[in-house]
Structure 1
Amino acid sequence: MKTNYTGVVLVLVTFFAISFITNILGPLFPSLVEDFNISLAVAGFLPFSFFAAYGVMSIPSGILVDKYGEKFVMLTAFVMAAIGSLLFAINPSFVMAMGSLFLIGTGMAMLQVAINPLLRVSGGQEHFAFYSVMAQLLFGGAATLSPIVYSNVVQSMAAGETNGVIGFFNSNVPANMSWLSMYWIFAAVSIAMLVFIALIRLPKVELNDEEAVGAVGIYKQLLKNKSVILFFIGIAAYVGTEQGVANAISLFLERYHGLDPVTVGAETVSEFWFMLTVGCLLGLVLVKLFDSRLVLKLFSGAAMIALSFALFGRAEISVIAFPMVGFFLSVMWSVIFSLALNSVAEHHGSFAGILCTGIVGGGLASPLIGLIADMTGDLRIGMVVVYITLGYIFSIGFWAKPLVVNKTIKLFKKTSVETSTS
């Protein structure tokens, strides 16, 4: 099958755009808490608004793709992201922030469902794994870049620049809310993607059995399976861990070590996503050498140790340990997802929809962390939520019983020596 490079480029750019927009909440968290004068528990509902959209829209998005096609769904998704970004940029308030993040999250959920089958068809099934890895690298690259852009924009605005894009921000963003400029950028990215998608012709996608959305009866059947529920919780635990740590980094460094959230905080969040991306490359090698369940146990245990250093170490240790948590989280999503799909014999497309709905876990962790931190007056105690989610992920390595175990490479093969007797 001939590769449709335009389609491949579109999907890769879309992955980049999704991550650039999605992973900015962490660096913004201290500013949101301060400027809206809200508690950590209330602030936790901001990421909840975003990730709740994944819980609501993952399965319906598959139905929309079946009925109207990938291009329509992608255009609709970026329209929602643009509207959500502009509404908040023009009318910044806590209530508007929640509504805006829900709209953006809905758009991102729709895109996640639409672009994976499109990547398979555009790149060809034989190259799907390669392009999927490339997409994840771009996803991580955008997550690394987003906090850096935020830091540079805010510092440029503080310097009083009056020309170009920074001049526009200084004219249209409240002086005490320079972080709001990121939502103008998100709107611009969304509009640019709308134009890009509208101008190109996408290949026709025929969903295979793995990607097809099943009937309601299939979901009911799957939800009666104990393994399905346990892996759903596993996905929720992973996303809750990832977002719980990412959203706490900048705020934690400010509160406990007095480090500037716009510079050091944003840089540490950027390094967290960078290390998570680098770890993905190591993970590709490790799951070819070892049982994925062993890899999951080793990395989740190491993540708990790194988190302990981040929370209880000195400032210079903390800024290194938080990115190391990201490094050890890197393999978890792919290992949990593959173990889950390999644990059921059929209806993988519908099961994948249920697992993606578990992304809502990313919104549940932050309010819980904030609530406990507010009640105890200690963010460190609030982070016990992350130890619980990591503990659950660690347990998956023991109870998972996949029907198909990941194939590993034998580095040393035994040779048999034949002996003869006379």
Structure 2
Amino acid sequence: MKRSPVLVIMVMLTFFAISFLTNIIGPIMPAANESFHMSLWLAGFLPFAFFIAYGVGSLPTGYFTDIYGTKSITLLGMLFAIISCWLFTLIHTLPVYLISLFFMGLGMALLQVVINPLLRTAGGEEHYSFFSVMAQMIFACGSFGSPYVYSYLVTKLPAAESGGDKFISLLASVAPATMPWVAFYLVSGIMFAILFVIIAITKFPKVELKEDERVEGLAIVFELFRSKTVWVYFIGIFAYVGTEQGVVVWISKFLETYYNASPDTIGAHISALFWAGQALGCILGMFLIKLLDQRVLLGAFIILGIIMLSCALFGGYEMALFAFPAFGFCTSVMYPGVLSLGLNSLSKHHGTFAGILCTGIIGGAIIPFAEGIIGDMIGLKYGMCLVYLTLGYMFWIALVAKPFIKNKTIFTKDK
């Protein structure tokens, strides 16, 4: 099959857009909290509304892709993002925001499921590992960039004048003067609209799903859910996303609550550095995985993560500014570690198993919400301590995992 560099670029742009929209919830949360006068538990409901959509949409998307095709599902995911972003810019109330977040999450779930097989087809199987690593880097770049875009908008819009920058003036005319953060979703909607047009006019190759990418029937789903291994790694993915979102979602609010740091500048900056740390960790992890058993690497990064989280929560202001990005660095090998250990611990039905694991992303809904509830009762700092449990669970996986296939290192002898 002829490879398509143009389609590879389009997939990379899609990864950027997904992360740009997904990981802005934390930096925006303090502003939304002030605008809607929310308690911590209600603020925790914002990521809940977004990430719960992954649990609803991941498995069905696999079936609908087989029926309607990759391009149709990709366009539908983009359409969900566009409509939900612009709906909130028109009707900026809390109920509409929660509904919009759910459909944003649903759109992102659709896109996440379809673009990985598309990347394999467009880039070629022989280059898939390389492009997968590149996609992870692009994803981190989107998460790194969106807090800075948000910070720029909320500092520029209140001072916007009709004779100044026309685009900023347009945004200022849409976003209420007391809610300039709403403009971020208008910008996101424009970005997804541009991608929608690009995708609509781009010719897609026929994506033939490999055996380990195909989602099988419901009978196989129910069969897998009777397996202890499936539950162990489903909860593992739940724990990872809960760990990641349970920290990054609350960084701005934590710094504002305990150190009176501006969420629009300092909070957004540290949230961005969290993702920069994760990107750097990915680069280092690519080398370390050739030297160490994946279980050892996973366990070591989790221990380091526990230390960095403790420093962030209990070490003072200056320490928190360093330790939160350092914790992002520590998360870099956790998701690929748990995912690959899971897939290598089951001998068949990998496509359906991967779909089940994707539903574990709802950990990003449950953990921040639970932290908010605990935070209202005894303080946000102690609510965020819930992440110690999710880290502990992943560390247990690193100790007990017995994959059929171990990662190959430079010390592995060829048989």
In the other structure, the counterpart of 1:85 is 85
Work out the CA distance in 1 between the residues paired with 2:58 and 2:229: 20
Partner residue, 1:66? 66
Shift of 1:158: 2.6
Are 1:250 and 1:269, in contact at CA under 8 Å, matched by a contact in 2?
yes
| Higher-Rg member (1/2) | 1
CA distance in 2, matches of 1:373, 1:221: 39
8 Å CA contact retained: 1:87, 1:100? yes
Residue 338 in structure 1 maps to residue 308 in structure 2: no
Which residue pairs with 2:57 in the alignment? Answer: 57
> Which of 272, 284, 287 is equivalent to 1:285?
287
Q: Shift of residue 269 of structure 1?
A: 0.2
Report the Cα offset of residue 127 of structure 1. 0.1
**CA–CA distance in structure 1, aligned partners of residues 94 and 157 of structure 2:** 23
* Corresponding residue for residue 148 of structure 2: 148
Q: What is the distance in 1 between the residues matched to 2:261 and 2:215?
A: 47
Letter in 1 for 2:409: T
Counterparts of 2:13 and 2:196, CA distance in 1? 12
5 Å-filtered alignment, 1:7-406, equals 7-162=7-162, 163-376=165-378, 378-406=379-407
Q: Distance in 2 between matches of 1:256 and 1:153?
A: 25
Tell me the SS of whatever aligns to 2:249. Answer: helix
**Mapped partners of 1:288, 1:228: distance in 2:** 27
Asked if structure 2 preserves the Cα contact closer than 8 Å seen for 1:117 and 1:207, the reply is yes
Separation (CA, whole Å) in 1 of partners of 2:360 and 2:174:
38
Q: Would the alpha carbon gap of residues 161 and 298 (structure 1) be closer, same or farther in structure 2, given more than 3 Å must change?
A: farther
SS at match of 1:383: helix
Report how many aligned residue pairs link the two structures.
411
Letter in structure 1 aligned against 2:411 = K
The answer to whether the Cα contact below 8 Å between 1:78 and 1:107 also exists between their aligned partners in 2 is yes
Q: Deviations over 1:19-76 (max 9, x none)?
A: 1111100100111111101111011111111111100000001111110111000111
Quick one: which amino acid aligns to residue 401 of structure 1? K
**SS at 2:205 equivalent:** coil
Cα distance per residue 1:282-340 (max 9 Å; x no partner)? 11111111110011110011101001110111211111100000000000110100000
Q: CA offsets, 1:110-137, max 9 Å, x none? A: 0011100000010000000001111110
Q: Which runs of 4+ in 1 moved over 2 A?
A: 158-163
Separation in 2 of the partners of 1:360 and 1:374?
Answer: 22
Question: Contact between 1:29 and 1:251, CA under 8 Å: does it hold in 2?
Answer: yes
Aligned to 1:417: none
Aligned to 1:419: none
Moved more, 86-95 or 228-237: 86-95
- For 2:285, the aligned partner's letter is G
SS of 1:137's equivalent in the other structure is helix
- When the two chains are superposed, the root-mean-square deviation of aligned CA atoms in Å is 1.1
Deviation (angstroms), 1:159: 2.5
Counterpart-to-counterpart distance in 2, 1:263 and 1:65: 41
Offset at 1:156? 1.1
Cα deviation for residue 349 of structure 1 reads: 0.2
Secondary structure class of the residue paired with 1:209? coil
CA distance in 1, matches of 2:316, 2:381: 14
**Structure 1 counterpart SS, 2:92:** coil
Give the fraction of aligned pairs with identical amino acids, expressed as a percent.
47
After TM superposition, give the deviation of residue 160 of structure 1 in Å: 2.4
Question: Residues of 2 paired with 1:161 and 1:226: CA distance?
Answer: 61
Q: Secondary structure at the match of 1:203?
A: coil
The structural deviation recorded for 1:97 is: 1.0
Q: CA deviation at 1:199?
A: 0.8
Aligned to 1:416: none
TM-score, normalization by structure 1:
0.96
Q: Partners in 2 of 1:7 and 1:161 — Cα distance?
A: 40
The one-letter code matched in structure 2 to 1:410 is F
* Residues 290 and 408 in structure 1, CA contact (< 8 A), matched pair in contact too: yes
Contact preservation (8 Å) 1:35, 1:177? yes
* Structure 1, unpaired ranges of 5+: 414-422
After superposition, give the CA deviation of every residue in 1:74-109 in whole Å (9 maximum; x if it has no partner). 111111111111111111111111100011111000
> The residue matched to 2:250 in structure 1 has which SS?
helix
Instruction: Give the superposition deviation at 1:361.
Output: 0.6
Quote how far apart the aligned CAs of 1:161 are.
3.8
Please, what TM-score do these two structures have when normalized by structure 2?
0.97
TM-fit CA distance, 1:2:
3.7
